[in-house]
Structure 1
Amino acid sequence: MNKTIYIIFLFIFLLLLQVLVLNNILFLGYINPYLYIVFVFLYPLKTNRIPFLILSFLLGIFVDAFSNSGGVHAFSILFIAYIRLFFIKAIFKKNESDYLLFSLRLQTFGEVFNFTVILTLIHHFILFSLINFSFYNFSNVLISTIFSSAFTLVLYFLGSFLFRKKLV
């Protein structure tokens, strides 16, 4: 599939999934999955990061518009989109010559797990910190971050297992 069409489809699919389905889920008052951050995981690596950062910001701002949340999603996803390259270099040991061939499907499960867990925890911590915006609710921030991150990761790995392509 053409990469541009893939990116457009991924953007629209994750946006609609988040705003129409996942924003209506709230378990036990703490657990709300934010699967739209998968866009950051699956976006292809390129040397020019500006279109990726713009699309990440737009995805976040659209989620904010539908959620009436005032920019917290845009900031959170833009932050993990910005630091993604650092973690790719640190966890996967990739350099610029490897960017064109890089795919999460071709990496070991342990590396992919570490990468997604770290970025998901960072995203959720920033998101819930901005939503609560108080040190009095720090325990709520931590509880919401841990439980929502776990639920988001379960949905991501379940989805990637169900929709993965057979390589051989």
Structure 2
Amino acid sequence: MLNLRFLINIVLIAFLVMLQVFIFSKMTFNHIATPFIYILFILLYPPQRNRYLLLFLCFLLGLGVDIFENTGGIHAFASITIGFLSKHIIPMVSGTKFFEIEEFRFSDFGVGQWIVYSILMVFIHHFILFFIESLSFQNFGGVMLRTVYSSIYTLIFVFFYLILFRKKAER
């Protein structure tokens, strides 16, 4: 388990947590929307790799943000949830069958599939995050407002990353 890829993932998680805590968490928009760029790690984790390792890394990623922001585990829970759901969302969006997931690569995704996949994953993550933070159905409208605005704000950065950096890596 302790190999080079695992160590690279740990360093990447530490880097994303620091970016989130020291830069992106400070970029709030009217105290409603905050970009959560750390979920890029979960969005781009190859589906053919070990799923249990992904869940462990999602936990570490969310826990890192929770520790620095003193949020009591809500980021860890939301990260583990979308880490788990990615196995089910990728075949739904890509049209592959579950037994074909071992051969699936994100480079097979078209632009429309990337958009749908990113929107679904980011929206689910943000809804879980803000709903657990609120822990009430009384403020459901506020939860949905924060979810939609933060999702849009996060997706701007996700698509910016995908346009600028992902294409070079796939060539």
When residues 58 and 4 of structure 1 are mapped into structure 2, their CA distance, relative to the original with a 3 A threshold, is: closer
* CA distance in 2 between partners of 1:6 and 1:160 (Å): 20
Match of 1:17 in 2: 19
In structure 1, what residue type is equivalent to 2:128? Answer: I
**Which position in structure 2 is the counterpart of 1:29?**
31
- The CA distance in 1 between the partners of 2:169 and 2:51, in whole Å, is 30
SS at match of 1:122: helix
Q: Please give the secondary structure, in 1, of the residue aligned with 2:150.
A: helix
Question: How far, CA to CA, are the matches of 1:105 and 1:144 in structure 2?
Answer: 31
Q: Normalising by structure 1, what TM-score?
A: 0.90
**Distance 1:44-1:9 versus aligned 2 partners, 3 A rule:** farther
Runs of 5+ consecutive residues of structure 2 not aligned to the other structure: none
Unaligned runs of 5+ in 1: none
Any idea what the Cα deviations from partners look like across 1:118-168, whole Å, max 9, x if unmatched? 111111011000111122211110110000000100100011111131655
For each residue in 1:42-97, what CA deviation from the matched residue of structure 2 results, as whole angstroms up to 9, or x when unmatched?
A: 11123631111011011101110001000100111101111111111111123455
3-state DSSP class of the match of 2:139?
helix
Which residue is 2:113 aligned to? Answer: 111
1:61 maps to 2:63: yes
- SS of the aligned residue for 2:138 comes to helix
Q: CA deviation at 1:37?
A: 1.0
1:146 match: 148
| Coordinate RMSD, CA, aligned | 1.9
TM-score of the two chains, using structure 2 as the length reference:
0.88
- Deviations 1:88-118 (Å, cap 9, x if unpaired)? 1111123455445433233101011101101
The amino acid of 2:141's aligned partner reads S
Asked whether the equivalents of residues 47 and 96 of structure 1 are also in contact (C-alpha less than 8 Å), the reply is no
How many aligned positions are there?
167
